[in-house]
Structure 1
Amino acid sequence: MTRFFRKPVEKNTRRGAATVEFAVTIPVFALFLVALIEFGHAYMVQTTLRAAAKKAARMGVANGVTTDEVSSEAMKIVSSAVRTDNLTVLIKDANIFDTSDAPTENLNITNLPDIALQDAETRHLFIVRLELPYDEVALFPPFWVNNLTLHSQSVMRHE
């Protein structure tokens, strides 16, 4: 019986293979890691906006609370997480949604009339909307998206 033996491979023949593989995979891994961090941060900001809109709207339900107090409450909550230099707080009259014949298709909330919550009647519907440009809160420059605005809103009735 004849046995075949392989010639031993020299250690120096694959010397650069690991370096090439590392050079190819590390940029892909780094991009994946940066994207994961950025999307997580964007989700955190969106959740903060949602919570701030809900809490501010809930505050606006009570009698005697002014529109400025509701706006500053929303600002305070969002500022605990991110810069609020370009945060827009809109508090609008939403009674248009109470009538069934009102056209709500393609309705721009910024075009709704402002509301003074301190003068609002019982069961008056209002919207608290928060808007924040994504460019202002992004951890890394967002080269994949331009002019994105994160927003959230809450609709409540004045009591």
Structure 2
Amino acid sequence: MAAQPPIRRRRPPAQQRTGAAAVEFAIVAPLFFMMVLGCIEIGRALMVQQVLVNASRVGAREAATLTGTGSSAQTAAVNYAAGASVPGVAASVAPDPTTAEAGDLITVRLSVDFADVSWSPTPWFLSGTTLEAQSVMRKEGFK
């Protein structure tokens, strides 16, 4: 028995497929653009989080020095964040570095609302999220 050639199906003429690409694009495009915007927002959030971590280290380092004060540590941290395009950062230092003894732990906490630093005018995915960071260092000096 001889093998029969495979059955070939004919493609429909081009006139019958007009608009198919437009319909497919209309279905896929919104999902694609939402995914791209979500990636941009998450990338911005990660960048801001890293800036907050670095700024809290700068503030903690300032507070841990012998001449450091709570206000100078807050100013150093907020200025670092503002220099990296992250405005509106709230900073707190505990305990007060001027009364801390040598070797005491000093904590600098920073926070910012993501809506204040998002590149999107209305953040979709991370609205209402507060980004936070803290650093802890020992007060310098001799015991």
The verdict on a shared fold, with TM-score over 0.5 as the criterion, is yes
Q: Deviation digits for residues 29-65 of structure 1, max 9, x if unmatched? A: 1000000001000000000000110121122211012
Equivalents in 2 of 1:36, 1:121: separation in Å? 46
Q: Percent identity?
A: 31
State the match for 2:60 in structure 1. Answer: 57
Q: Deviation digits for residues 99-138 of structure 1, max 9, x if unmatched? A: xxxxxxxxxxxxxxxx1x1332111111100010111112
Task: Please point out which of 93, 98, 104 is paired with 1:91.
Answer: 93
The alignment's TM-score, normalised by the length of structure 2, stands at: 0.84
State the match for 1:46 in structure 2. Answer: 49
Equivalents in 2 of 1:8, 1:142: separation in Å? 46
The alignment's TM-score, normalised by the length of structure 1, stands at: 0.76
State the match for 2:104 in structure 1. Answer: 124
Equivalents in 1 of 2:29, 2:62: separation in Å? 49
Q: Which moves more between the two structures, 34-43 or 132-141?
A: 132-141
Q: Does 2:116 correspond to 1:136?
A: yes
Aligned length: 136
Equivalents in 2 of 1:156, 1:60: separation in Å? 8
Structure 1, unmatched stretches of 5+, are: 94-114
Structure 2, unmatched stretches of 5+, are: none
